[in-house]
A and B are shown apart, each in its own frame.
Chain A
Amino acid sequence: MLTYTIRRLLTAIPTLIFISLIIFLLLDMAPGDPTAQLPLTIPPEVREQIRQSLGLGEPVHIRYLLWLKQMMWSEPMYYLSQSTGWFDPPEAARLISWQTRAPVMDTIFERLPQTLKVVGLSYIVGVLIALPIGIISAYKQYSVFDQAGTFVSMIGFSIPPFFSGVLMIILFTVMMPNDSFFWFPSIYDTTLVVDSWENFGKQVRQMVLPVMVLALQTTAQISRFMRASMLDNLNQDYVRTARAKGMTESVVVLKHVLRNSMIPVITVIALGIPSIFGGAIITEQIFKVNGIGQFLIVSIQASDVPSVQTLTFIFAVLIVLFNLIADILYGVLDPRIRYD
């Protein structure tokens, strides 16, 4: 298992370098000018100087290599030196956003907590709701519960968050009386500091709507998957063996069947985790959560190439990483799989 992991990690490196090249070239070819947002009164010479100072004068392969070094070496070393203090931060300047002039990574770390709180929580909530629904739907296939589950999943699958989000706002913010317990704020207040029970309550309330919108999607997908996986296993011969041994239904279903059904489901859950870090672009936009997703949108609109490149690349790294984790989990959970 260990050698397998190491081998996979090593093969991930060329993959990521290739991905980074694609990301870099694609964004480089994209139209848009970092100075486009500046006032029109700025004379062309100054404009050109600004572009030079952003490093746009170099040929593309040089810029790519510089960026790669920045991403793979300078930034990690910077954080390492910051957190341990063992050595001075590297000389190379940090990767700076064209738009905010702040180091991109700093902005990302600033935004990440909001995203993790809202998107991460909704993922957890979604999965926790989905698993029992999937299990019961499969065990009581075609029952009223199963039909209802199918209906809700269909809604979750087919209604995009930009619709369900707005619907939620209309229902729970606009139409709901302000003093009702079921009134929830539609705007996420990032400046809120949880220092008292009252503020904790506020924090919870402002997370309710975005979490509901996102959890609906996760629930729809994972519960369908769980149900299918349970159904696959419920008809297996070993289930009959367990019953023939006199095991109770709960042991048969929750021990024998569930353990087998969870193997593919857990890997699917793991594969979905990078999307938490990617932020829910649209949902964050609707509820004004200033997380990663919103940062990405704003950066794209401002042609802030370094920010977009960095975010996209981090996302790629996470996807590669969680693919690896999913594969390893598979091997851990399923004794039939041996990687060595």
Chain B
Amino acid sequence: MPDGAQPVLDVRDLKTVFKVRGGEVHAVNNVSFNLKPGELLGVVGESGSGKSVTMMSLLGLLPTPPADVQNGTVTFDGQDLLSVDPETLRTVRGGKIGFVFQDPMTSLNPVYNVGMQIMEPLRKHMGMTKKEATVRAKELLELVGIPDAERRLKDYPHQFSGGMRQRVMIAIALACDPKVLIADEPTTALDVTIQAQILELMKDLQERLGMAVIWITHDLGVVAGIADRVLVMYGGQIVEQSPTRELFKNPQHPYTRALLKTVPRVSGGREARLAIIEGQPPILGAQPTACPFRDRCDVAFDRCSQENPPRYAVGAGHDAACFYDANTGAPRDA
């Protein structure tokens, strides 16, 4: 990761609210982060922490209504994606930023063959003829490791297994040589061996094609294996950001520390049980005015229920949104 390079993607103060019956769900609350060229950024957090909503907000992929991106800037290529005109946004989607979704079983259109679905962005963004697009589509399928690519272009999604469909999704996302690839839990719906294969594939492709990748996952084990840097999300906020090794060595936020305890270790003795984090993740009906983790936090104190902690810098490229200083074992001052 080239340090200090100009980020390809810079997100500031992103806020997304869902208007639902009987109120609002504040799914993303003032999220800021950036992505550097060629970097693999891991995003972790339990279900409902706002990972998917954050990433979909960047490209305007949420259904509006109910979703409403109320605030923030997303700087990409010198423009703010949240305020550009729809046509410019469409050239970014699929052309410059590729997206791989959580569920490969439903993310492909069942009535069109995969060839057509891979060729669509090629023809739109690269202006290819049908012939050129067919050739490229075949290359892409080969790139993501689908055997007999030429013939399989004519197959429909239901003729592929889950892992193969996810490869097709990756091929679609990579079709136009994007600068950024956002992969939203691309392996969660797959079984373990397939997960490992897809992971391997993505890491390999990222190195070969030199793109920046945002990799969303539940799984800290996956992050440890591939990510350069990690964002930990909780309650629609980024609670910790850190280079990967640093995070595992020196986790700062109580939530991160609890998460790390839930990762099984090969060296751990037989009787060492996996820890579980007690309690439920919050569903926020309003802009949080206190630390969203306080009900489950084992070191919470008064201040935590009066203010929402800002992100305190705790090291090089490392920050944590917590009033408690894990290094000193005491509340931060001021």
Find out whether the CB atom of A246 lies under 8 angstroms from the CB atom of B121. yes
> CA of A245 to CA of B169 in the docked complex: distance in angstroms?
11
> CA of A240 to CA of B94 in the docked complex: distance in angstroms?
12
- CB contact under 8 A between A241 and B169, given known A246-B124, A336-B158: yes
Against A, the Cβ 8 Å flags (1 = close, 0 = not) of B61-96 are 101000000000000000000000000001111110
Main secondary structure of the interface of A (DSSP, over half): helix
Taking CB as reference atom, which chain A residue is nearest B125? A246
Find out whether the CB atom of B111 lies under 8 angstroms from the CB atom of A241. no
Find out whether the CB atom of B107 lies under 8 angstroms from the CB atom of A238. yes
Find out whether the CB atom of A260 lies under 8 angstroms from the CB atom of B107. no
Find out whether the CB atom of A240 lies under 8 angstroms from the CB atom of B156. no
> CA of A333 to CA of B156 in the docked complex: distance in angstroms?
13
Find out whether the CB atom of A248 lies under 8 angstroms from the CB atom of B106. no
Taking CB as reference atom, which chain B residue is nearest A333? B111
Quick check: is A243 within 8 A (CB to CB) of the other chain? Answer: yes
Find out whether the CB atom of A263 lies under 8 angstroms from the CB atom of B101. no
Q: Which residues of B contact A333 (CB under 8 A)?
A: 111
Find out whether the CB atom of A243 lies under 8 angstroms from the CB atom of B93. yes
- CB contact under 8 A between A235 and B156, given known A241-B169, A246-B93, A248-B90: no
> CA of A237 to CA of B169 in the docked complex: distance in angstroms?
12
Find out whether the CB atom of A245 lies under 8 angstroms from the CB atom of B120. yes
Q: Which residues of B contact A251 (CB under 8 A)?
A: 120
> CA of A236 to CA of B157 in the docked complex: distance in angstroms?
15
Q: Which residues of A contact B92 (CB under 8 A)?
A: 246
Taking CB as reference atom, which chain A residue is nearest B173? A244
Quick check: is A17 within 8 A (CB to CB) of the other chain? Answer: no
Quick check: is B33 within 8 A (CB to CB) of the other chain? Answer: no
> CA of A242 to CA of B112 in the docked complex: distance in angstroms?
12
- CB contact under 8 A between A244 and B106, given known A335-B111, A335-B156, A336-B158: no
Quick check: is B59 within 8 A (CB to CB) of the other chain? Answer: yes
**Chain A residues within 8 Å of B, Cβ to Cβ:** 235-238, 240-248, 251, 256, 259-260, 263, 333-336
- Can you list 5 A-B pairs with a CB-CB distance of less than 8 A? A237-B106, A238-B108, A244-B61, A245-B172, A335-B158
In the A-B complex, list the 8 residue pairs whose CB atoms are closest, starting with the nearest.
A246-B94, A245-B94, A246-B93, A237-B106, A244-B99, A238-B109, A246-B90, A335-B156
